Amino acid sequence: MAGKSTLLPILNGSASADFRDTLRQHGLGELRRREVTTLQINVGKLCNQACHHCHVEAGPRRTEIMPANVAERILTLLAATPSIQTVDITGGAPELNANFRAFVSEARRMGKHVIDRCNLTVLFEPGEETLIEFLAANQVEITASLPCYTESNVDQQRGKGAFEKSIRALRLLNTIGYGQGGSGLVLNLVYNPLGASLPPPQDKLEADYKRELRDNFEIEFDRLFTITNMPIKRFAEFLLREGKEEAYMGLLRNHFNRATVDKLMCRDLISIGWDGKIYDCDFNQMLELETPGGKSIWEIESFAELANSPVATDSHCFGCTAGAGSSCGGSLQ
C-alpha cells in the first residue's frame, strides 16, 4: 500500500512499475525474500539531531516512539525465530528509546549479534553517561554516521558543532577499545553523498577516511560503508527544491546493476516499525509501504513465516541497485 510520506512525484503511478519492469527485462522476475537472518528494529523518530539527508525525517520533536508492549512482542518473536542471527537497532537515535538497553541485553542473551546505528553525538546527551560502557560490555557493533571527514561538510548536513562532537565521540570509543584491531569491538562509519550523486568506490573512500582521521585526529575504525541517498523524505524535498529530481532518478535508473539484486538487504532482512508494522526495509517503512499482505507483529507467531514472501518495491528501489549497489551494510560489490 502507498503511504503518505514524501516520495518524488515522478515515482507515482506507472513509474511504480518501472523497477519491476527493469527486473523482468534483466530476466530477474519478482523480488522474493529468502530465510530471514536479520531483524532491523526502528524504535522511532526521536533524535537529538535533524540531518538534511535523513530519510526518517527524525528530530528532537518527533513523537513516534516504540512503546514497551511492542518491544516485548518483538523479543518474543525473535526468540521464536532461530534463523535470525543479527539484530540491527535504528531510529532516530535508537539509544534515546527506553527499550533500547532491553533490546540489546535480551538479544545478546539469545546469542544474537547486535548492531547499534549511532549518530555519535547522542553519546553526550543527558542520561547517556554510561552508554559507551554498556555497548562495550555487550559487544555491540557500532555503525556510526559520519558523512565526511571534514568539519564543513559534516556541519552542513548535520548542524553546527556536529563534527566536533562526532570526533570527541570517536576518540572516546577508541579509548574503550572500539575500532582497535583484536578488541572484538567493531566500529564502522557510514558515508552519504552531500548532494545528488552516487557514492564513490567504497574501498578507495575508506582508505581516504582512515588516512584523514588517523593523521588529523588519531582516530581508528574498522570499515566504511557508502550508502546512496534515497529519493524519499528530506532528500526528496531537497531534490524538488533544487529541480534535480528527474536528473537524479535518471542517474539511478541508468546505473542499474543486475549483479546487485541477489545481495539486496530486503532478501534476508525484515524491518519493524515503532508501531509494530512489518516492512521489507527501512526505506519502505518510511514510505509506509508495508510487506505484501500488510501483517503486523501481532498477526504472526514467528518471523520465519515471512520467508519466501514477495518484497514490496517502488522506483526508489533503484537507489539500492545503482552502481555498486547500496544497503545498510554499504556497497554490494
User: Residue 195 is part of which domain span?
Assistant: 33-243+265-306
Residue 92 contacts residue 45 (beta carbons within 8 Å) = yes
Per residue in 273-319, pLDDT tens?
999 999 999 899 989 999 988 889 999 999 999 999 999 999 899 99
> Residue 42 domain-assigned?
yes
CATH number of 67's domain: 3.20.20.70
> Residue 192 domain-assigned?
yes
Task: Pick 246 or 195 by higher pLDDT.
Answer: 246
Q: Which of 152, 153, 85, 166 is nearest to 121 (CA)?
A: 166
Q: What is the C-alpha to C-alpha distance for residues 147 and 139, in angstroms, rounded to an integer?
A: 24
Question: What is the structure's pLDDT at 40?
Answer: 97
> Residue 75 domain-assigned?
yes
Q: Which of 232, 265, 246, 289 is nearest to 53 (CA)?
A: 232
Question: What is the structure's pLDDT at 160?
Answer: 78
Question: What is the structure's pLDDT at 1?
Answer: 34
Lowest mean pLDDT among 9-23, 219-233, 240-254: 9-23
Single-letter amino acid, residue 283: F
Task: Please state, for a pLDDT cut of 70, what percent of the chain lies above it.
Answer: 92
Q: What is the mean pLDDT of the chain?
A: 90
Residue 170 contacts residue 219 (beta carbons within 8 Å) = yes
* Mean pLDDT (whole number) for 124-152: 93
Q: What is the C-alpha to C-alpha distance for residues 235 and 126, in angstroms, rounded to an integer?
A: 30
> Residue 322 domain-assigned?
no
State how many domains the chain has: 1
Q: pLDDT category, 2, cuts 50, 70, 90?
A: very low
Residue in the block written with cell 545503482: 322
Q: For residue 183, how many C-alpha atoms fall within 13 Å in the half-sphere facing its CB? A: 21
Q: pLDDT category, 4, cuts 50, 70, 90?
A: very low
> Residue 231 domain-assigned?
yes
Question: What is the structure's pLDDT at 142?
Answer: 98
> Residue 87 domain-assigned?
yes
pTM comes to 0.92
